[in-house]
Chain A
Amino acid sequence: DAGVIQSPRHEVTEMGQEVTLRCKPISGHNSLFWYRQTMMRGLELLIYFNNNVPIDDSGMPEDRFSAKMPNASFSTLKIQPSEPRDSAVYFCASSLRDRGYNEQFFGPGTRLTVL
């Protein structure tokens, strides 16, 4: 079975450009999460969706960041305009939310470098 799929795996762009990261969750999962990981700040939750609806976006650093989930099998995280401090690994994770906690399965991540 396919796990969480993220694209691109690597992205190098110049400051000011728009960046779009993509995620396909595991089929049947109803929760989707976007994380950012840096050496300085560790792994941070940016936003998560339940049944395609954004539940908590308090981790989104600023208005330059936006996330959408138009359907159960696709989500995007967009940065516009990008800045060098956005350089990080961005992970998407999905889970089947039931009562209580369910394991989150992470994708391989997108390594973003903003020059």
Chain B
Amino acid sequence: RKEVEQDPGPFNVPEGATVAFNCTYSNSASQSFFWYRQDCRKEPKLLMSVYSSGNEDGRFTAQLNRASQYISLLIRDSKLSDSATYLCVVILYNNNDMRFGAGTRLTVKP
């Protein structure tokens, strides 16, 4: 079983749609969780951290379910510029060893 698993997609949605991605992780000792965004042929960049209480940043909402060992990312009112691959990232406590999911590809169409 992979340490971090994501649905690779692709997700093809129209502008304005709401789309959600899930990610599961295998190590119950994992303490920190993030979503990174990677544009085509570019480097990954941090999108947002994921906190136990859930957190929101504009149109983006991230949630963590420790009991079920999954995290989610919700994008509301999707824009063309949201088209990218979204990487789920998990690290162990006090350890900079990041484990990336394979990524979920999103295409937002006009």
Contact = CB atoms under 8 A, between A and B. Distances in A.
Interface of A: 31, 33, 42-45, 48, 50, 55-56, 91, 95, 97, 99-104, 106-109
Contact of B44 (A50, A55, A106): A106
Given A42-B102, A43-B87, A101 B96 contact: yes
Interface residues of B, number: 19
B43 A108 contact: yes
Interface string B46-70: 1000000000000000000000000
B27 to A, nearest CB: 14
A106 B100 contact: no
Contacts of B87: 43
A14 B46 CA distance: 35
Contacts of A45: 97-100
B96 A50 contact: yes
B35 to A, nearest CB: 12
A101 B43 contact: no
A97 B97 CA distance: 12
A99 B98 CA distance: 15
Q: 3 closest Cβ contacts across the A-B interface?
A: A106-B43, A42-B102, A43-B100
Contacts of A56: 97
A109 B38 CA distance: 12
Contact of B97 (A48, A107, A109): A48
Contacts of B96: 31, 33, 48, 50, 55, 95, 97, 101-102, 104
Contacts of B102: 42-43
B91 interface: yes
A43 B37 CA distance: 13
B98 A104 contact: yes
